[in-house]
Amino acid sequence: MPNDIRKTLEEVYGFLFCADLIDDIVRVGIIQEVSSGQMITDVGDALHGVPLLISGAIKVLRVDSEDNELLVYFLERGDSCAMTLSCFSGKIMKSSIRAITEKDTVIINVPMKEVSSWMHKYPDWSTFVLESFSIRLNEMLDSLDALAFLDLPDRVKRHLGEKVKLHGSTTLSTTHADIAADLHTSRVVISRVLKQLEKEGVVDLSRNKVEVLKY
């Protein structure tokens, strides 16, 4: 099994991390396999380590006082979470986001104290941390733009496009209510928007399924 992990790690992170760093990750990392739709982290949870995504996808959500959600961005293979990376002091912090698996997902969890020493030990690691921040920040700006500048039909289209890319399929197993939750709106308005998109030939609708025809 450890050899297996090493191989996948090399596959996903090999071009970023030197062999020594990969050795260290294998040594201290804890493999976590999570099935789709599971909440991994909630707002207020203590962050004990840095998760490195091996496969699958995770959606990162913001939550309001009434427990309504808003999708911030997705994390994919090779990504990590900026939230946890920000604690390189080694101090344990609390999460300000909720993380839910979008598909069956494998992550390798690195304890916080290791991570902080790697910042000095491995230039590869500090580069990875800074690059991750940069990517996350840009993704967040994209989401902010969508939220501020796009009307709902366009936001729905954008969201569907992202899901298609993520799942590698134009057939999405999702409900109108799920989409509504991600976009922080109500199911009724999503149903209406989707109906309109169906008339325009953009999607094909059936129960628990959205077939994306144009994106």
- The residues of the shown chain that bind DNA, judged by CB under 7 A, are 151-153, 175-177, 184-189, 191-195, 205-209
Per-residue exposure over 40-50, b if at least 16 CB sit within 10 Å of its own CB, e if not: bbeeebebebb
Rounded to a whole number of angstroms, the minimum distance from the CB of residue 185 to DNA is 4
Q: Which amino acid type is present at position 91?
A: K
- Tell me whether residue 4 or residue 151 sits nearer to DNA (CB atom): 151
- Tell me whether residue 60 or residue 193 sits nearer to DNA (CB atom): 193
- Tell me whether residue 26 or residue 146 sits nearer to DNA (CB atom): 146
Sheet holding 30-34, edge to edge: 30-34, 105-111, 49-55
Rounded to a whole number of angstroms, the minimum distance from the CB of residue 146 to DNA is 12
- Tell me whether residue 43 or residue 189 sits nearer to DNA (CB atom): 189
- Tell me whether residue 21 or residue 100 sits nearer to DNA (CB atom): 100
Rounded to a whole number of angstroms, the minimum distance from the CB of residue 112 to DNA is 37
Rounded to a whole number of angstroms, the minimum distance from the CB of residue 42 to DNA is 21
**Nearest residue to 6 (alpha-carbon basis) of 14, 79, 116, 49:** 14
Query: Would the CA dihedral through 195, 62, 40, 11 be positive or negative?
Result: positive
Rounded to a whole number of angstroms, the minimum distance from the CB of residue 215 to DNA is 18
